[in-house]
Amino acid sequence: MTRFAAPIAESIWDMKYRFKQADGTAVDGTVEDTWRRIARSLAAVEKAPELWEDRFYAALEDFKYLPAGRITAGAGTGRAVTLFNCFVMGTIPDDMNGIFNALREAALTMQQGGGIGYDFSTLRPRGAEVKGVGADASGPLSFMDVWDAMCRTIMSAGSRRGAMMATMRCDHPDVEDFIAVKSDPARLRMFNLSVLVTDAFMDAVKADGPWELVFGGKVYKTVQARDLWNKIMQATYDFAEPGVIFIDRINAANNLHYAETIAATNPCGEQPLPPYGACLLGSVNLARLVERPFDADASIDEAALTELVSTAIRMMDNVVDASNFPLPEQRAEAQAKRRIGLGVTGLADALLMCGLRYGSDEAAAQTEVWLKAIARASYLASVELAKEKGAFPLFDADAYLASGTMQAMDEDVREAVREHGIRNALLTSIAPTGTISLYAGNVSSGIEPVFAYAYTRKVLQKDGSRTEEEVVDYAVQMWREKFGEADLPEYFVNAQTLEPDAHVKMQAAAQKWIDSSISKTINVPADISFEAFKDVYMQAWDLGCKGCTTYRPNDVTGSVLSVSEAEDKVPGEGMAQGDGGEVVYMSDPLDRPQELEGHTYKLKWPDSNHAIYVTVNDIILNGRRRPFEVFINSKNMEHYAWTVALTRMISAVFRRGGDVSFVVEELKAVFDPRGGAWMNGKYIPSILAAIGGVLENHMVNIGFLEGEGLGLKEDPQAQVVNHGGPRGASCPACGSFDMRKIEGCITCGSCGHSKCS
């Protein structure tokens, strides 16, 4: 008997979370071994480790409590990685030494697998005087380009590129450039962007009043607040960024308002953090806790929920002591405040099992009840830990209880905190759970609605044959097991049919009992009017949300995968095979034939004494020609190390199959801070970008790409059905065209690949 509810869950475990040696040999033989490894590691800091190991294992068993991916993959492995998910880096000083020291700290953090956030509002605007050197400042965006280039070169732990958030205040003189920067699709691709919106600005927007753009006490420009707001709205309407963070609301609610000022968040926005702030994440799987699903009396046992939450809080508190940290400042910050972020996943599935339509008043009310129960259990468990182990070092009872969040807390919880202190300064957060939701049996992600009831997953074998499986939402699968192929009830809704205000209503209901924030994306239809789109953000402000992120499919952002023309039917009911979107995965790398055909290209970089030769060999797969391996050679020994590394990495990617055109895109976007060169009438930003151009030309010549800057001519591994819109970008991990914005980050709905989780 397997513990996995679906084959994709086992695949995710094997790819992402199973402990393996460097040569690929599995250390975790089963998922039970993974649970035991995590439990033993986190119990090791206890006085009675054997007792707590068993309790921790019981919480992990059957995917009831889901530590975030960093903990699941890293705990107990002995590897030098951080178990913390979220970091906001130190304040960037407005001088060259400080800026590049901050860049170094960012690189070290991402090297250990941390996603980072930065506030670039501290840097003087473009054109401001730089005293002592007789020059004008280049502005924050120019330095963000440097961060972006750094991020491209740092591979985070777990074979993922680092993710970054950049924020800028709504009163910074360069905020208009910041708002518009994503109109250039090649710029700042490693960043998520959000504008820090103040209460005063929102008041000015509603009053249609003036708004000053200020730095260092100097007013650089005065604009109409509503005009600036409309620029933010237009940019996110067109390009899905920037998001909006209601920063004053965050600071007023913060339990630690007396000890810190927040000016940035982690990449997905669920963790507003101070300079060097760090937070770890975990989720209670509500879908696993529903008793008597789909019966009239279906419910979650609140006593069982309380017990699970209490154990999870203890586990997460132990992570603070068990984890590595990239920087000593991050360790000090984490141990002084012991901030953790317990959230939920499977909310939409749990609501369905209880007969509630996501986005309805009843579902919002039930969400509030469940999350209040989790908040109470979390705070009381942390009080018990404070009795046993001591309160967090910066605890001040009167100041702590005066925060906006604590003023809304039940009186018995407030009195317990006042009398005994509390172990963790903040306790709740709702994080992106795309990958761990698949690992837990394809439950709905975080507090998001069910995205799709089902899709077909195909695996391409090395001999060219394909195996096929259906991936079904967890609640839908439970319905099938109980009722067979009967039609789904009307209360079954998904992200394709849900109205935007339902998203906002659910986010606001959850936010009432979340002391940090929520990673959520409000999906809006492509044809939503601009005025209606703006109303979504104003509704988020009016209902008390701490931020807002939307995703509108269009020619720039791409469109999401459509799984069926009959979305309101049970998967399999009235659907022909092949109607759904077909996602194809490679099971293993392709074997290399004895002989391959290819071409060698000579590349002469103007500043180099020797030419670089790029050889691309192709394979014929299912009657189609595609790149299989690359060799890059040069007599210049300064190039030796990076050309060998690039040869190996690109060849490994090519041999996995799928849409590998992203390799071209990544290389062409690399710029050299020392400057590029003009080649054949075009400015090429770096020698790596030139190599990317060679690969692109080759792919065009063999018919793999339609043309320069275009995607696959005919994708050999995926078929998708779109709602009359453009096909979105392909997943760099599995090749499927199922990339969508989920919980603030572009994520593959098929394999869970994301730069943020």
Query: Which one is catalytic: 105, 270, 333, 666?
Result: 270
745 as an active site residue: the answer is: no
Distance CA 142, CA 146 (A): 7
Q: Hey, what amino acid is at 561?
A: L
DSSP-assigned states of every residue in 171-187 = TSTTHHHHHHGGGSTTS
Whether the upstream peptide bond of residue 275 has omega within 30° of 0, thus cis, is no
Which of 660, 666, 711 is CA-nearest to residue 688?
666
270 as an active site residue: the answer is: yes
What does the buried/exposed string (b/e) look like for 159-194 if buried means 16 or more CB atoms within 10 Å of the residue's CB? ebbbbbbbbbbbbbbbbbebbbbbeeeeebebbbbb
Ordered strands of the 597-603 beta sheet: 597-603, 612-621, 624-634
Query: Which one is catalytic: 86, 268, 545, 748?
Result: 268
706 as an active site residue: the answer is: no
Q: How far is CA 510 from CA 253, 306, 378, 446, 474, in A?
A: 15, 17, 15, 11, 22
Which of 278, 272, 264 is CA-nearest to residue 85?
278
Residue 730 near residue 662, CB atoms below 8 Å: yes
**Count of residues making up the chain:** 757
DSSP-assigned states of every residue in 618-643 = EEEETTEEEEEEEEEEES-GGGHHHH
Angle formed by the axes of helices 530-542 and 500-511, nearest 10°: 10
Residue 212 near residue 172, CB atoms below 8 Å: no
What stretches of 120-198 show up as alpha helix (H) in DSSP? 140-153, 175-180
Q: Hey, what amino acid is at 743?
A: E
Query: Which one is catalytic: 85, 251, 255, 266?
Result: 266
Query: Parallel, antiparallel, or unpaired for β 155-156 and 160-161?
Result: antiparallel
Query: What is the CB neighbour count within 10 angstroms for residue 356?
Result: 20
Active site residues: 266, 268, 270
